[in-house]
Amino acid sequence: MNYTLKVVKVKKETSDTITLCFKQPGLKKIKYLPGQYLTLIFRINGRRYIRPYSFSSCPGVDEFLEITVKRMLNGVVSNHINDAVKEGDSIEVLPPMGDFIYESGDSKNIYLWGVGSGITPLISIMKFILTTSNSIVVNLIYGNRSHESTIFADLISDFQINYPTKLTVRHFHTKFVIDRTNPSVIQGRIDFQKASRILSEDEDIQNSAHYVCGPAGLKESVKNALIAKGVELENFYSEDFELVKNPEDFKDIKTQNLAISFNGMHFDLEVAKGRSILEAALESNIELPYSCQTGNCSTCKAKVLAGEVKMIGLSKERNDLSEGEFLLCCSHPLTENVYIEL
Ligand SMILES: Cc1cc2nc3c(=O)[nH]c(=O)nc-3n(C[C@H](O)[C@H](O)[C@H](O)COP(=O)(O)OP(=O)(O)OC[C@H]3O[C@@H](n4cnc5c(N)ncnc54)[C@H](O)[C@@H]3O)c2cc1C
Ligand code: FES
C-alpha cells in the first residue's frame, strides 16, 4: 500500500543538497529500520518517475521521516526535489524497503564508510547505535570534496561532542585546505592504502563490522583492505545508489525488439543496446513497477516466457529468483523474440 506524506520542513544542508522532513501519517505510522530507504513517486512533465532515497532520520531519535537529496547533474528527480518541493506539499511514497540494515551482532567496533550523499543511510545507523548501545564504538570515515560540501558536518560535530568515547570521525577532503583546528581531516580519497592504515590502528579488527555506501571504488578499496588484513567478509555490508555496468558484459548484447504483457495489455518495444528493458519501457511510457533500479528490491521482477535475457550489473547474488524470473532494471535481451510477462 502506498502512502501520501506531507512535507513539514525543507532543510538546506549544502549548496546542492536538501533534507525533506515528512510528518508521519495520522493513522498507520510508517515503520522503518536505520539504513532502509523510502521510495518517492513524482509526475514531472507528464511522466512518472520513481526514486529511492535512504532515510537520514533514525526511528526513535527523529520526530520526522527524513530523506536527504543531492542534486545530480542533469538528474530529473533530484533537481526537481531541490528546486520545486516545498513545505506543505504532499508526496506519494512506497513502504520502506532495503536490506542495508544494522545487524546488532557481536561486533564491538562498527565502521561506517561513506562518500558524498552515501552518508544518508550511515548517519541513520550511526544515530541508532550511539543512542541505543553503551558498548559499541562507531568509526565514521567520510569522504567529500571540502568542508563546505560535507553533508551533516555540524550534526556529526555535535555527535562527536556528545559521544566522545563512542564515536571516532575521520573526514577525507579531496580539495584540501590545512585546518589546524580540525586534525581529523585527511587529504585525498579513501583509497586502499588509507583504508588499510585505518584498519591497522584497530587491534581487534577481526571483530569489526563494516557498512559502506558510496561509489564502486570505495567499496572495492574497503573490501580489498579487509581481505589484505585477513578479515572475513561476513560482516561487510554495502549499499549501491546506482548500477555499475561493465562494458565487457555488453559484448553479446544487440538492439532487439521484444514483447511485454503487463496488466493484461500487450506492448511491443525496441530495447537499444545499453538500455535495460525497464529503462526502454519507461521511456516508451509503459509504467512498469520499479523502485531501486539497482537489482536489489525485486519490484521490477518479471517472467521471461520466450527468448533469452541477461542480467548485467547485479552487485549481489540473487538466489531467490525462480527459473525464468528476471529483474528488468538490470536485464537486457540476448536473443530475438523475447516475450516477458508481469
Ligand atoms: C537504495 C538507494 C538509496 C538512495 N539514497 C539516496 C539518498 O539518500 N540521497 C540521494 O541524493 N540519492 C540517493 N539515491 C539515488 C537516487 O535514487 C537517484 O538515483 C538520484 O537522485 C538521481 O536521480 P535523478 O532522477 O535526479 O537522475 P536521473 O534523471 O535518473 O539521471 C541519473 C544520471 O543518469 C544520467 N542519465 C539519465 N538519463 C540518461 C540517458 N538516457 N543516457 C545517459 N545518461 C542518462 C543523468 O545525466 C544523471 O547523471 C539512492 C539510490 C538507491 C538505489
Ligand atoms: S527496481 Fe529494484 S530490483 Fe529492479
> Which pLDDT tens digits describe the chain residue by residue (342 residues)?
899 999 999 999 999 999 999 999 988 899 999 999 999 999 999 999 999 999 999 999 999 999 999 999 999 999 999 999 999 999 999 999 999 999 787 778 999 999 999 999 999 999 999 999 989 999 999 999 999 999 999 999 999 999 999 999 999 999 877 766 666 788 899 999 999 999 999 999 999 999 999 999 999 999 999 999 999 999 999 999 999 889 999 999 999 999 999 999 999 999 999 999 999 999 999 999 999 999 999 999 999 999 999 999 987 888 889 999 999 999 999 999 999 999
Q: With respect to residue 44, please indicate whether it lies within any of the assigned structural domains.
A: yes
Atom of ligand 1 nearest to the CA of 292: 53
Q: Do 188 and 134 lie in a common domain?
A: yes
In this structure, which residue's CA is closest to atom 9 in ligand 1? 69
Cβ 295 under 6 angstroms from ligand 2: yes
Atom of ligand 2 nearest to the CA of 328: 4
174: Cβ contacts below 8 Å, ≥ 6 apart: 143, 144, 145, 146, 187, 188, 189
Cβ 298 under 6 angstroms from ligand 2: yes
Cα–Cα distance list, 230 to 4, 17, 200, 235, 267 (Å): 47, 38, 11, 13, 52
**Å from CA of 181 to ligand 2 middle:** 44
Torsion of CA 120, 121, 126, 131, to 10 degrees: 100
Q: Would you say 117 and 151 are in contact if contact means Cβ atoms under 8 Å apart?
A: yes
**Å from CA of 166 to ligand 2 middle:** 36
State the pLDDT at residue 183.
Answer: 67
Question: Ligand 1 test: best mutation among 18, 19, 53, 123, most atoms within 8 Å of CB?
Answer: 53
Q: Which of 67, 97, 127 is the last residue of a domain?
A: 97
**Å from CA of 164 to ligand 2 middle:** 40
Atom of ligand 1 nearest to the CA of 74: 47
CA of 119, nearest ligand number: 1
C-alpha count within 13 angstroms, C-beta hemisphere, residue 328: 27
**Å from CA of 70 to ligand 1 middle:** 10
At 173-222, the pLDDT tens digits run 998 777 666 667 888 999 999 999 999 999 999 999 999 999 999 999 99
Q: With respect to residue 320, please indicate whether it lies within any of the assigned structural domains.
A: yes
For the chain, percent helix, then strand, then coil, each to nearest 5? 25, 35, 45
- Residue 137 belongs to a domain with what CATH number? 3.40.50.80
CA of 327, nearest ligand number: 2
Q: Do 234 and 199 lie in a common domain?
A: yes
Q: Which of 47, 69, 97 is the last residue of a domain?
A: 97
Q: Which of 197, 219, 239 is the last residue of a domain?
A: 239
**What is the number of structural domains in the chain?**
3
**Å from CA of 195 to ligand 2 middle:** 31
Q: Do 234 and 253 lie in a common domain?
A: no
Q: Do 266 and 168 lie in a common domain?
A: no
Atom of ligand 1 nearest to the CA of 49: 25
At 13-26, the pLDDT tens digits run 999 999 999 999 98
**Å from CA of 326 to ligand 2 middle:** 10
Domain of 42?
3-97
Question: Ligand 2 test: best mutation among 243, 292, 312, most atoms within 8 Å of CB?
Answer: 292
Q: Do 252 and 289 lie in a common domain?
A: yes
Cβ 36 under 6 angstroms from ligand 1: no
